[in-house]
Structure 1
Amino acid sequence: MNEILNNLLSLHSESEIAEFKEARNSFDFNKLGKYFSALSNEANLKKLKCAWLVFGVKDNRTVVGSQFRTNLQDLQSLKKEIADKTTSRLTFVDIHEIEHPDGRVLLFEIPAAPQGLPIAWDGHYYGRDGESLGPLNLEEIERIRRQNRASDWSAVTLPSASITDLEPAAIEQARENFFQKNPKLVQEAKQWDIATFLNKAKLTINGQITRAAILLLGKAESSHFLNPASATITWILKDRDGLERDYQHFGCPLLLGVDEVFHKIRPLKYRYMKEGTLFPEEVEQYDPYIIREALNNAIAHQDYELGGKITLVEFEDGRLCFSNVGQFIPGSVESVIQTDAPESRYRNRFLIDAMVNLNMIDTIGSGIRKMFLIQKKRFFPLPEYDLKDNRVQVTVIGRVVDMAYARKLAEYPNLTLEDILLLDRVQKRKPLTDDQAKYLKSLGLIEGRKPNFHISAQIANHSGERMQYIHNRALDDQYYKELILAYLEKFGTAKRVDINGLVLDKLPNVLDETQKYNKVKNLLQALKQKGLIESEGKSWRMSKKI
């Protein structure tokens, strides 16, 4: 590190990838974050591994020493503080503390922005023009974003790796999978040696081992070829309170790892309540196709350059939550379902081609749609996608959450998946756009006022849910007002708790507890504005004006 410092001090001036600050005692944290964003982005654009921010040195490269965060624990905590406000929680590779003869120097080693992902600080992208700090211009932002389209992490060959770095059991399983995917080639493929098979299956390039080959078939000890990327799937079991009960990590070869993770999931049955002949007696809590599809999708589409791992959290209350790092390239799940066609571009094209040949995934674009259709057929809630924070998270529920909703699906088997997507939003109390609400109302599927929509009487009558419909349907406000007035006329005064007890259980079930309390508050204010009631301390009574 002393050699690196001397090289930096020998520069004629600051540059896009080197910045010097005196920082004798302190330094503005927000400005530090801006420099982090700028230097990270500039290192990417210059195809360097890192950039440097140096504390304790003047602009003219004279060492003056810095007392910035002299406590080692405080200094190292800066990594998390920076990560909390940067894209994908990127932070320093390391913070190096050097005792120079002229004073203490800090070298902040800032990693280059990952390919295709410009780094923002607190939501804004920064760059440098020579020594000047400023916003990263749009052309440079797009240059970084285009990098993913021009390169493929998974296709990079590893000159120092060989077939001996691959797991023999994984190679044999790959052959079996290849035969299943390509039955017409079975006789010919049985004659191929290992090197020929790997080339034909698109795991190697002209005999050279690729990152995709190590990821899918590599021995556990071969994962170092992928550093700093992580070839890890972590399974976690959590109880109903969200507390961790068990966990296990699975690494290379992921072709076998998927099966190992699959067998960690408890093979429980879901038993339906008896409802005539509408429902089966019991089913597997999770359909095997959904588990494998979600896991294989996470492997195929993970952004390995971000260094994250794939996780599968199994909750004892009947949920599976899959997650991987990287943006969801199609943009939205709705667009995937509606298009029902292959994507025009992929992050890891070479890896995906190999996984297709090994019968792990397909590229016809129907995998996600099939997951939704399986859940629909079971009358379970549809898969839930969370695409925030440069991460894809998929939650699959292995039970009926709302039996009334399940009955409605059973009664209307011909509803399109697009219609059910919207009804699923109503079931989960998620907002609808005005157009979506108008569309569902035009079909007679929902009633109510925004945002408190509920399943309509039409479906309720078909499904036998008349009582639930009545509970969801709001009575006229005048009814509630007359109840309050009648109470006050009879008893003279009433505290808010008395009025709550009078009205709350009569409000529609579609309202949550907070909405019900606000409803009572609005009823009281409306009666007060009309001069019918008035407050007296913490009590209400009939107005003296009447």
Structure 2
Amino acid sequence: FTAPFILTVDEILSKIRNLTMRELLGGTLFPDTMKQYDDYSIREALHNAITHQDYTLQEYINFVENPGNVYYENGGSFIPSTLQKALAIRGPQRHFRDECLCKAMVHFNMIDTVSRGIKNISNEQWRRYFPMLDYEIDAANKVVGVRLYGNAINEKYTKILKENKTLTLQECIALDAVQKGHQINKDTAKELLDKGLIKREYPNYQISLGVAKMTHQLPEYTRVSRLERSKLKQMGGFGLETGYMGY
């Protein structure tokens, strides 16, 4: 595919199998339905790759459909440097790699002028209880990759997002990193530890006892965490009180 991108984007996206997903929610006989990929999210990520491609490298933009996710890859560098910095931007972006192209895409409503695209995608993934965007930034080889998920990859993470309505977007992103086995910085880890959302297992972290209890993940948590005797007694007592263990 090649220019004009305003025409080829629709042609590209028409080849993606955006399946209809159905979920039977508690308390209702009618399933909730939604597309595997949100239309805005899948377009915004592709438009961002077109906008931020470094065309002096004379490289293609790669767009790959995988089972459960789609992957975008463009040449160049990630201007905000990290996802956290991109989400922290409050006003319009001050630097563009190709200002003329950006202005044209803004004129045709292909991209957002106030840098809300990544945040909007992240919020939509949160609403769907799906994993957050994965960024693969290779500064040495000038490659930026983005993975957009179209399904859940960890039942624990999904249940936490469903049942804990006090989470912030930043906490969801941090918990997403934990579910994927990625390291998180000490300050973020301390905040999650203080709230009882994760359990310390340096250098990695796992879902804490409080969250495991809240999301009914006690059997799996027991197996994975190798809990000491006192916590096993605590969990056994909770199971007997609630009838969760089948007694």
Fold conserved (TM > 0.5)? yes
The answer as to whether partners of 1:448 and 1:473 remain within 8 angstroms in 2 is no
Matched, 1:376 2:132: no
The answer as to whether partners of 1:383 and 1:397 remain within 8 angstroms in 2 is yes
Within the candidate set 397, 400, 405, 2:157 is matched to 405
User: In percent, how many aligned pairs have the same letter?
Assistant: 38
Aligned to 2:223: 471
Deviations 1:184-204 (A, max 9, x none): xxxxxxxxxxxxxxxxxxxxx
2-structure distance, mates of 1:344, 1:268: 37
User: Shift of the alpha carbon at 1:275?
Assistant: 5.7
Within the candidate set 328, 336, 347, 2:97 is matched to 347
User: Shift of the alpha carbon at 1:417?
Assistant: 0.7
Aligned to 1:265: 16
Secondary structure at 2:151 match in 1: coil
Within the candidate set 25, 34, 37, 1:283 is matched to 34
Aligned to 1:421: 173
Within the candidate set 358, 363, 370, 2:108 is matched to 358
User: Shift of the alpha carbon at 1:435?
Assistant: 2.3
Q: CA RMSD in A?
A: 1.9
Give the 3 Å change call, closer, same or farther, for CA 351–441 of structure 1 in structure 2: same
User: Shift of the alpha carbon at 1:457?
Assistant: 1.8
Unpaired stretches in structure 2, ≥5 consecutive residues:
230-247
User: Shift of the alpha carbon at 1:437?
Assistant: 1.7
Give the 4+ runs in structure 1 shifted more than 3 A: 277-282
Aligned to 2:142: 390
2-structure distance, mates of 1:280, 1:396: 24
2-structure distance, mates of 1:469, 1:340: 39
Deviations 1:4-60 (A, max 9, x none): xxxxxxxxxxxxxxxxxxxxxxxxxxxxxxxxxxxxxxxxxxxxxxxxxxxxxxxxx
The answer as to whether partners of 1:382 and 1:421 remain within 8 angstroms in 2 is yes
Give the 3 Å change call, closer, same or farther, for CA 417–277 of structure 1 in structure 2: farther
User: Shift of the alpha carbon at 1:355?
Assistant: 0.8
The answer as to whether partners of 1:432 and 1:451 remain within 8 angstroms in 2 is no
Deviations 1:186-224 (A, max 9, x none): xxxxxxxxxxxxxxxxxxxxxxxxxxxxxxxxxxxxxxx
User: Shift of the alpha carbon at 1:470?
Assistant: 1.9
2-structure distance, mates of 1:277, 1:260: 40
Unpaired stretches in structure 1, ≥5 consecutive residues:
1-249, 478-546
Secondary structure at 1:387 match in 2: strand
Give the 3 Å change call, closer, same or farther, for CA 280–303 of structure 1 in structure 2: farther
2-structure distance, mates of 1:314, 1:392: 17
1-structure distance, mates of 2:83, 2:186: 20
Aligned to 1:308: 59
Equivalent residues, number = 226
2-structure distance, mates of 1:259, 1:377: 25
Aligned to 1:442: 194
Structure with the greater alpha carbon radius of gyration:
1
2-structure distance, mates of 1:282, 1:465: 26
The answer as to whether partners of 2:20 and 2:36 remain within 8 angstroms in 1 is yes
Deviations 1:322-349 (A, max 9, x none): 1110111111111011224322111111
The answer as to whether partners of 1:330 and 1:343 remain within 8 angstroms in 2 is no
User: Shift of the alpha carbon at 1:360?
Assistant: 0.7
Aligned ranges 1:153-192 → 2 under 5 Å: none
The answer as to whether partners of 1:270 and 1:399 remain within 8 angstroms in 2 is no
2-structure distance, mates of 1:346, 1:375: 26
Matched, 1:253 2:20: no
- TM (norm. structure 2) is 0.85
The answer as to whether partners of 2:133 and 2:149 remain within 8 angstroms in 1 is yes
2-structure distance, mates of 1:349, 1:277: 51
1-structure distance, mates of 2:60, 2:101: 16
Aligned to 2:44: 293
2-structure distance, mates of 1:346, 1:476: 54
Give the counterpart letter for 2:39 in structure 1. Answer: P
User: Shift of the alpha carbon at 1:280?
Assistant: 5.8
Secondary structure at 1:312 match in 2: strand
Give the 3 Å change call, closer, same or farther, for CA 357–255 of structure 1 in structure 2: same
Give the 3 Å change call, closer, same or farther, for CA 267–444 of structure 1 in structure 2: same
User: Shift of the alpha carbon at 1:296?
Assistant: 0.8
The answer as to whether partners of 1:460 and 1:469 remain within 8 angstroms in 2 is yes
1-structure distance, mates of 2:102, 2:84: 22
2-structure distance, mates of 1:347, 1:296: 14
Secondary structure at 1:448 match in 2: strand
Greater RCO between the two (CA within 8 Å, min separation 6)? 2
Deviations 1:411-435 (A, max 9, x none): 1123111111111111101112222
Aligned to 1:325: 75
2-structure distance, mates of 1:261, 1:428: 29
Give the counterpart letter for 2:201 in structure 1. Answer: R
User: Shift of the alpha carbon at 1:277?
Assistant: 4.7
Aligned to 1:461: 213
The answer as to whether partners of 1:319 and 1:396 remain within 8 angstroms in 2 is yes
